[in-house]
Amino acid sequence: MSRKRDDDSNTNCAVEASLGVIGGRWKGVVLYWLLKGTHRFGELRKRLPNCSQRMLTLQLRELEEDGLVKRTVYAQVPPRVEYELTAFGRSLEPVLIGLRDWGEKYKRRLQRTG
């Protein structure tokens, strides 16, 4: 995964930079769930039934690389891996809440408009 969109360095606009980081297909939802607390990999999978295991792994790796998510591996069998937001990741909270609230409006609008 080359992340063409993210590593595009000429993001003249900061909005573009943000969306490059959180705009991935599942990243917003993952971050939103992590806002509620630490999750194991399998727990996240249940939260995102439409996201394949492969994609979830990839998205988590990118979020980790961007410093939003911390990954902790417990050396035990069977393996246990936990994901949580970093402080920088938590700084996204107001934005995520804003996205969620606007999303609600949009969905209500869709129902009216058809």
Partner DNA sequence: CGGGATCCTTAACGATACTG
Partner DNA sequence: CAGTATCGTTAAGGATCCCG
Footprint of DNA (CB under 7 A): 1-5, 24-25, 40-43, 45, 50-55, 57, 60-61, 71, 78-81
Going from the C-alpha of 108 to that of each of 25, 48, 56, 104, the distances in angstroms are: 22, 22, 28, 6
At 51, is the secondary structure helix, strand, or coil? Answer: coil
* 67 binds a second copy per the rule CB under 8 A: yes
Q: Least separation, in Å, of the C-beta of 94 and DNA?
A: 25
* 58 binds a second copy per the rule CB under 8 A: no
Q: What one-letter code names the amino acid at 33?
A: W
Q: Are 67 and 84 in contact (CB under 8 A)?
A: no
Site for a second copy in 10-39 (CB under 8 A): 10-11, 13-19, 21-23, 25-26, 28-29, 31-32
Cα 44 from Cα 53, distance rounded (Å): 10
The entry of a second copy, DNA, none near residue 88 (CB within 5 to 8 angstroms by kind) is a second copy
* 86 binds a second copy per the rule CB under 8 A: no
Q: Least separation, in Å, of the C-beta of 41 and a second copy?
A: 18
